[in-house]
Structure 1
Amino acid sequence: MSEELREDLPKVIEELEQKCKEHPNSVMAFHHLGLVYMKAGRIEEAVKALEKAIVIDNLSSESMINLGAIYFGQGDLDKAQEMNEKAIAVNSDSGQAHANLGLIWQQRSDFDKAISAYNKAIQCNPKLASAWMNLTSVLTMKGEDDRAITAARKGLELEPDSPLGHNNLAVALYFKGNFSEAKIHMDKAKELGYSVDPNFVASLEEKLA
């Protein structure tokens, strides 16, 4: 978060809090207040604001998704799953909610369900780069190297400067035995600020020696 945005947050929060007081049934006011609280790191208040948005409108799938993201960040996978499933019940075409479920299943090491969720996310929104990139990770874990490489390349088509995308492609190429190209993407990931696993770096350098 830029310093300029950080400095503006208190003013934005004050304005949104006032708007919520003036319009206590405005789902968008509480939703946006929740998002700004999240940016400010005021997580408990963000939860309350997003919960209020959902009380006002039980079809507010975006509020459900963001509330699920908070729970995921807190390590509460059950609540995170519940919120994203509610969002999907409201909007079955929500690529982000399906992608979030993929992350939850991936965290639980249920890779088949994770792949299914990521594929559903991509079906809903083929331009959701994060779904392609996370799908890459799971496919690599399952030893499906060709599919992992295809998914990684698609993710990078959508976000060419994604550190995660370059790292995941590097790993997929490594397991496929394409060490030279793997190093290109590993170096790019590092250049973009990704903390590449030192063990992976050492192993790849050994293969290239």
Structure 2
Amino acid sequence: MGLISNKRKTPWTVIVGLLTAIIFYLSISWGCAPQQTVKKGMSLERKKAIEDSLRKAQQFEIIKYWSSGYEYYKNKSYGDAQKYFWKVIRMDTAMAYADTFHYKDIFARLANCYVRQNKPDSAQIVYKMGLKYFPNDIYLHESLGYMLRSKGQLEASAKQYEKAVQLNPKKTVDWKILAEIYVKLRETDKAINAYEKYTALKPNDRKALEILSILYKESGEEEKAIAKKEEILKNNPNDVDLMLQLGKTYGDLGNYQKARDLYLRILKLEPENKIALSLLAFSYMNLEAYTEAIQTYKKLMKLEPRNAEMLCNIASAYRMKKNYRIAKNYVRKAISIDPKYGLVYITMAQIYEASAADCINQKGGKVDFDDKLVYEKAYNEYKKALKDPAYITLAQQRMDAIRAMLPTKQDRFFNQGKKEPTSPCYKWIF
């Protein structure tokens, strides 16, 4: 009996145990879990509230420091201002509130504090720091570029101004500064490009246009150089100096007609402009307008009656007209004014040479003793010119050139006693 009784009790014990376990599990699942969820929800809200409070406190501090720094800055207390600006930068390391609280220019102001205290190196550091935060800030690029330029670091400075004009292509002052830097760096092509950009925006800046014209000339673009000067002249139609420059340029290129026209314009404004008169006469000579050249030189002689060079020029013009007698008379006047002037003897020699060549041509190229005597006269005039150091080289060259035309011993033997040419072709000499 006892054994049977024990066997019956065993199943009930197991059942009771199982029920107890189930109830315990359910109590945990339905009772404890919801309590934990509530606690987590409260923790997140509290955490957010704390973060908001800290953020507002930080913002308050940033505003306070910025306001204090700005007030000191306005009152030119730069040492105090910089301390507060640095506090703002340290508190807002990402410049997260720069837009919100309007202190995107903090680096510019901080750098200026150092500039005002004569601490350019510190200012330079601040400009560079600011560009890390605000790489498209034109003012920071300009300021850093200016500072580098003042230190002679032209290549580094150019990079800053290059960025500045890239950000604002219409800012004329930056193009001009950049162009000037390129000129100093001797980067002609870049300088030309920068000046072209600048003058397109500032077409009336004469100095810039003149520099651009010079750069064109240096780079071999002569036509562009002239066109730029013509552009300047168009805006300054009565500029005598510019017309002289442009006239000389045309003359150097062999365009004497345009040179002549410019000199005539000058003389309408200034009838007694000696430089214009001289260059006009020279242009006429090259245009083979010898009569006009003589008339112009004579106008100049009225202003400078004792100008031996002008007398020689008149003589040369008459020589080209084959009027050798008058040419010789003008040389004599020049000699009476300045007998030590080598040009007077060079001019006289050229008259003799031209006459001899002309007379020989009239005979079909046949050279006789008379012709050789005239060449000898030219040779002797060149010898006189050797006394003037300024004309030694030219005189010696011409003496060497005509030496073969001088009378030989044989010529003199067959023409004994004859010392002057008797041909009618040379009657102008006497």
CA distance 1:125–1:190, change in 2 (3 Å): same
Q: CA RMSD in A?
A: 4.6
Match of 1:50, SS state, is helix
Gap runs ≥5 in structure 2: 1-182, 356-373, 413-430
Corresponding pairs, count: 196
1:81 aligns with 2:229: no
CA distance 1:167–1:61, change in 2 (3 Å): same
Q: Distance in 2 between matches of 1:156 and 1:138?
A: 21
The answer (yes or no) to whether the contact 2:316–2:347 under 8 Å persists in 1 is: yes
Give the TM-score of the pair, scaled to structure 1.
Answer: 0.64
Report the counterpart of residue 102 of structure 1 in structure 2. 281
Report the counterpart of residue 69 of structure 1 in structure 2. 248
Q: Distance in 2 between matches of 1:165 and 1:40?
A: 40
CA distance 1:192–1:75, change in 2 (3 Å): closer
Letter in 1 for 2:331: A
CA distance 1:114–1:156, change in 2 (3 Å): farther
CA distance 1:171–1:74, change in 2 (3 Å): same
Q: Deviations over 1:62-113 (max 9, x none)?
A: 2222222233333333322211111212222221222222123222333221
CA distance 1:135–1:37, change in 2 (3 Å): farther
CA distance 1:89–1:116, change in 2 (3 Å): same
- What is the aligned counterpart of 2:272 among 85, 93, 103? 93
CA distance 1:24–1:107, change in 2 (3 Å): same
Percent of residue pairs bearing the same amino acid type:
18
CA distance 1:122–1:130, change in 2 (3 Å): same
The answer (yes or no) to whether the contact 2:350–2:378 under 8 Å persists in 1 is: no
CA distance 1:190–1:182, change in 2 (3 Å): closer
The answer (yes or no) to whether the contact 2:382–2:396 under 8 Å persists in 1 is: no
The answer (yes or no) to whether the contact 2:281–2:296 under 8 Å persists in 1 is: yes
Q: Distance in 1 between matches of 2:397 and 2:346?
A: 9
CA distance 1:33–1:195, change in 2 (3 Å): farther
The answer (yes or no) to whether the contact 1:149–1:173 under 8 Å persists in 2 is: no
- What is the aligned counterpart of 2:380 among 172, 180, 183? 180
1:146 aligns with 2:329: yes
CA distance 1:181–1:79, change in 2 (3 Å): closer
CA distance 1:121–1:34, change in 2 (3 Å): farther
- What is the aligned counterpart of 2:233 among 39, 51, 54? 54
Letter in 2 for 1:183: K
Report the counterpart of residue 191 of structure 1 in structure 2. 393
The answer (yes or no) to whether the contact 1:53–1:60 under 8 Å persists in 2 is: no
Q: Distance in 2 between matches of 1:130 and 1:10?
A: 43
The answer (yes or no) to whether the contact 2:345–2:381 under 8 Å persists in 1 is: no
Within 5 A, what are the aligned runs for 1:147-162? 147-151=330-334
Tell me: higher relative CO, structure 1 or 2? Use CA pairs within 8 A at least 6 residues apart: 1
Letter in 2 for 1:108: L
The answer (yes or no) to whether the contact 1:68–1:80 under 8 Å persists in 2 is: yes
- Structure (1 or 2) with the larger CA radius of gyration: 2
Q: Distance in 2 between matches of 1:96 and 1:63?
A: 13
Task: Please report how far the alpha carbon of residue 32 of structure 1 lies from its aligned counterpart in structure 2 after TM superposition.
Answer: 6.3
Give the TM-score of the pair, scaled to structure 2.
Answer: 0.35
Task: Please report how far the alpha carbon of residue 54 of structure 1 lies from its aligned counterpart in structure 2 after TM superposition.
Answer: 0.8
CA distance 1:74–1:9, change in 2 (3 Å): farther
Letter in 2 for 1:120: K
